[in-house]
Amino acid sequence: MGGDVFQETTCGVSVRVEPAFVDSESDPETGRYVWSYAVDVENQTQEPVQLLSRYWRITDAAGVTQEVRGQGVVGQQPVIAPGESFSYSSAAPLHAPSGLMHGHYEMARLHSGDRIKVNIPAFALDCPYSQPLAN
């Protein structure tokens, strides 16, 4: 995608996000701004982990906040082996030309059964028609 990359590691699980403005699906005249984001979740631990659920908090430049909760990601609850990663892409529409997203995944360590909360780094959604919220 060639844009900014945001990364955070929690409990040995690294989450990397690369957002991109989707001009072809956006319509600034009607207040529709769409971003895609590519996510890579890498297991840097010594035991398999399973991504069970997600939580996203999306705040646009007008201060409107959406919260998204659900099972897994893109219809899956992937098991990620030690040293492996799982990648997926999704999208987020907003009614303002910029915003911020962040959240977390609930994951389980498969050998110990421990549950862990893995942070998703905060990342900016800045379209070409607005001033950047974050650099």
- The model's confidence at residue 135, banded by pLDDT at 50, 70 and 90, is very low
- The amino acid that residue 122 corresponds to is A
pLDDT at 3: 72
Structure tokens at 125: 């959604």
Provide the β-strand partners of residue 34: 93
Q: How confident is the model at residue 58 (pLDDT cuts 50, 70, 90)?
A: very high
**pLDDT at res. 126:** 85
Token pair belonging to 133: 């919220």
Residue entry with tokens 């942070």: 119
Give the pLDDT mean for 73-97.
96
> Bridge partners of 68?
56
Question: Would you state the pLDDT for residue 129?
Answer: 65
Looking at residue 1, its pLDDT comes to: 42
What is the full DSSP assignment across 93-117?
A: EESSSEEEEEEEEEEEETTT--EEE
Distance CA 105, CA 52 (A): 7
Over residues 119-130, the pLDDT tens digits come to 999 999 988 766
For residue 66, what pLDDT is reported? 94
- Cβ contacts of 51 within 8 Å, gap of 6 or more: 41, 72, 73, 76, 77, 78, 80, 86, 105, 106, 107
